[in-house]
Amino acid sequence: MIYAIASGKGGTGKTTVASSLVSLWDGPVTAVDLDVEEPNLHLFLKPEIHRTDPAYIEIPEADESKCTLCRACSTLCQFKAITVMGQTLLIFPEMCHGCGGCLTVCPEGALTPGRRQLGEICHGRAGNVRFIMGRLRVGEAMSPPLMRQVKALFADMVAEDDKADIIVDAPPGVSCPAVSAVIDADCVVLVTEPTPFGLHDFKLAWEAFSPFGIPMGAVINRAGIGDDSVQRFCADKGIPIWAEIPFDRAVAEAYSRGEVVARAVAPLRGTFRQLRRNMREAAMAREAACAR
């Protein structure tokens, strides 16, 4: 099963929740940091990284002696990555989304596959937990292509072993990277905080992810501050609240030391075990419904 820990608002506690769940998981689990623009799950899990692979996207390279300036490629490209100006074929590698369309349509065989580095994928282990992290290259603008490569790794794991559980630390927000992180999940945990700001972005996330038909539940972090607007919204929309993490000095202190809060703060263990049960049940229920 693939469990995505997501949120509309940044800084609500996705990594706090993901690292705690991983540390209390009762079976083989792989922790995946898909927040490739600013991965930070490793700061809490402190994995030993034993392999780092560069990740690339395919871009066109031109043999100008074969190019007849027919513009088949530039007409196709929606991103202005390849264009004909005057008597010159121009390629802008950083604009390319890697669709490969230009290579397919070129009638002269003037384009061959080249590559641009997107970033890197790190493989490691933290105790019994397998760890995978994508990290975008500084200056690279497109994160979903790198995320797809990371997702292909854990999709293979799940395909090989249907007992394999994956916990994904997703990027915040509701744009392409966030959608890319949750769309293949079997269950989505939306982390929020009980404030007007938290509610605003929680609503956006719920609206953005609802159409996927993936079971979703809320985790209210820093419970006790703010107001009850998130709880009322959840009640109104029928969103289950799977866990509440109290606004507590001990939690903040553990977090500030880079500790996994479920390990450092004993009363939270029950909270995260209950969350784990709720996630499992939601994912199983969906699987059963799909099988029928």
Partner 1 sequence: MGGGGRGMGGGNRGMTAQPDAVSGTAQAGQARQRAATDTGIRKLAVTSEGPAMTDRVDPRFGRAAGFVVVDLETMETTYVDNGASQVLAQGAGIQAAETLANAGVQAVLTGYVGPKAFTALTAAGIRIGQDVENVSVAEAVRLYTTGAVSFADAPNKPAGANK
Helices 229-237, 196-209: axis angle to 10 degrees equals 20
Tell me whether residue 92 or residue 197 sits nearer to partner 1 (CB atom). Answer: 92
Tell the burial category of 34 from Cβ atoms under 10 Å away from its Cβ (0-12, 13-18, 19+). Answer: buried
Answer yes or no whether residue 99 interacts with partner 1 by CB under 8 A.
Answer: no
Q: Are 34 and 153 in contact (CB under 8 A)?
A: no
Q: Going residue by residue from 24 to 63, which x/- string records binding to partner 1, judged by CB under 8 A?
A: ----------------------------------------
Q: At closest approach, how far in Å is the CB of 73 from partner 1?
A: 12
Calculate the dihedral angle through the C-alpha atoms of 42, 44, 48, 54, rounding to the nearest 10 degrees.
0
**Which has the closest alpha carbon to 81: 105, 108, 60?**
60
Q: At closest approach, how far in Å is the CB of 124 from partner 1?
A: 34
Coil, strand or helix at 98: coil
The single residue among 83, 117, 229, 231 that binds partner 1, judged by CB under 8 A, is: 83
The single residue among 52, 68, 75, 112 that binds partner 1, judged by CB under 8 A, is: 75
**Which has the closest alpha carbon to 19: 7, 8, 5, 9?**
5
Find the part of the chain contacting partner 1 (CB under 8 A) among 71-79, 170-178, 193-201, 222-230: 71-79
Find the part of the chain contacting partner 1 (CB under 8 A) among 37-45, 69-77, 112-120, 264-272: 69-77
Binding site for partner 1 (CB under 8 A): 71, 74-75, 78-81, 83, 85-86, 88, 90, 92, 95
